[in-house]
Structure 1
Amino acid sequence: MRSETTTGRTFIEEARRRQFIDSAIETLDRLGFSGTSAAEVARGASIAKSALFYHFKNKDELLRAVVSDLYALAAQEIVKDMATADGPRQMLIRYIRSCILFASAHPRWIGAAMEVIQNLRDADGALVFGAATNQPNIDAIEQMLREGQRNGDFRDFATRPMAVSIRAAIDAAPAYFAHEPDLDPGAYADELAALFDLATRRTEAKEDT
């Protein structure tokens, strides 16, 4: 019987696909976007290049998978951490902390993904991962903020600029981790969460006015 994963691929196919993605991450980290070829990725995986094109129709599809698989794993881990949060305020704090700790745990993968995001273009020359790529994250944050305002957890403020600011602060973290290896990710996550908790929550002074 053919054993399949939830993706419809066999376990062997999934494992081989993972080998190519891991090699692409290593190659992007080592050689950058311009130096990452199908041949280099196959060499890094110690598998024939022809096998790469069995799992991915071309190099661009492989590079897209580097980004999409990272997003999928991040979403899975962050949603799991937020699942037991008590209300929007705690959800926001957990979201920020989870994003930062995920980034610190996967520095090479995030660096590789950024190489792809900033350089991969379609046939018309437009970036494949343009400004709209981050919109679902910003939309999700804004939804938390609006829910918090509705139930009284958060003060009155413009939710879109706040959501953009929160996401921008999260997205800036990997660069700091790369250049400051002694930085404590847990302390960084706590401070960033505290910063936006203070910026958003409804204080007693506000409630009394």
Structure 2
Amino acid sequence: MARHPDGGTRTFIEQKRRAQLIDVTIAMVAEHGYAGTSLSRIAGGAGITKAAVLYHFPTKDAVVAAAYQHVLTALVTRVAAAVEAAPATDGPAAYVRTMIAHLHEHPEHTRMLTEALTSTETQDQGSSGRWHALAQIVAAARAARGLDEHADLRTAAIIVGGAIDALVGERLRDPAYDTITAAEELVGMIERTLLT
């Protein structure tokens, strides 16, 4: 059983309801944006009352934060597993391909991340941790290839992260945009500029 913030434990049914509310919140934010998602809309999507939502989450921001954390954890877990499974020389490619593939497969996650980062208190949770992790992956790939340490891995990682964001953002604007092919183009650019 999971623990309540007040020290008690959640029943299996409470855990399932919270998971449902997180899924509904992701869908609502993806469809209506943060501003267009209310506790009433979340309750309606879950087929319960607003009071029932408030039993599990004290505020809209709390349920949105839980949904954001769920989406972020799913993305980070998948990307980390792919990078860990790849040889160090291929870590940056695994990072790019897996991140873009995950967001391609889950466009509602892309919208949830974007909305949460621009509409709530989560802005400071991603940027430095993201570029730092990517810089370490690039550094490990360079070392495994016998290359000297790159002078500015921070800037390189920020540029690569920005490119990923731009590709994924383009798919949000144009669902026909092929981010999987674009990911391969980005991997090629990384190979040519950072790993040779």
TM-score by length of 2: 0.86
- Kept in 2, the 8 Å contact 1:42–1:49? The answer is yes
Q: Which residue of 1 aligns with 2:138?
A: 145
Q: Is the 8 A contact 2:92 2:141 kept in 1?
A: no
Change (3 A) 1:149 1:90: closer
Match of 1:26 in 2: 27
Count of aligned pairs: 191
Distance apart, 1:35 and its partner CA: 2.0
Equivalence for 1:124: none
Cα distance between partner residues in 2 of 1:132 and 1:24: 20
**What corresponds to 2:61 in structure 1?**
60
Contact (CA 8 Å) 2:72, 2:113: kept in 1 or not? no
| Paired residues for 1:41-190 under 5 Å | 41-87=42-88, 89-120=89-120, 128-131=121-124, 133-154=126-147, 156-190=150-184
More moved, 7-16 vs 158-167: 7-16
Shift of 1:162: 0.2
Amino acid at match of 2:70: D
Corresponding residue of 1:207: none
TM-score norm. by structure 1 comes to 0.82
C-alpha RMSD of the superposition: 2.2
Q: Assess, with a 3 A threshold, how the Cα gap between structure 1 residues 154 and 39 changes in structure 2: closer, same or farther.
A: farther
Q: Computing the radius of gyration over CA atoms, which structure comes out larger, 1 or 2?
A: 1
Instruction: Report the alpha carbon displacement of residue 104 of structure 1 after superposing the two structures with TM.
Output: 0.5
Give unpaired runs (5+ residues) of structure 2: none
Aligned partners of 1:132 and 1:108: how far apart in 2? 20
Distance between the aligned counterparts of 1:71 and 1:102, measured in 2?
11
Question: What is the one-letter code of the residue matched to 2:90?
Answer: Q
Aligned partners of 1:58 and 1:75: how far apart in 2?
A: 26
Measured in 2, the distance between the counterparts of 1:26 and 1:149 equals: 40
- Alpha carbons 1:154, 1:200 under 8 Å: kept: no
Report the CA distance shift for 1:77/1:132 in structure 2 as closer, same or farther (over 3 A). closer
Cα distance change of structure 1 residues 154 and 94 upon mapping to structure 2, 3 Å threshold: farther
Would you say the 8 A contact 1:66–1:113 is kept in 2? Answer: no
Tell me the amino acid that sits aligned with residue 186 of structure 2.
Answer: L
Structure 1 residue 30 displacement after superposition = 2.9
Whether the 8 Å CA contact 2:134–2:157 is kept in 1: the answer is: yes
Query: 2:103 & 2:3 partners in 1: Cα distance?
Result: 26
Q: Percent identity?
A: 25
Unaligned runs of 5+ in 1: 121-127, 203-209
Aligned partner letter, 1:38: L
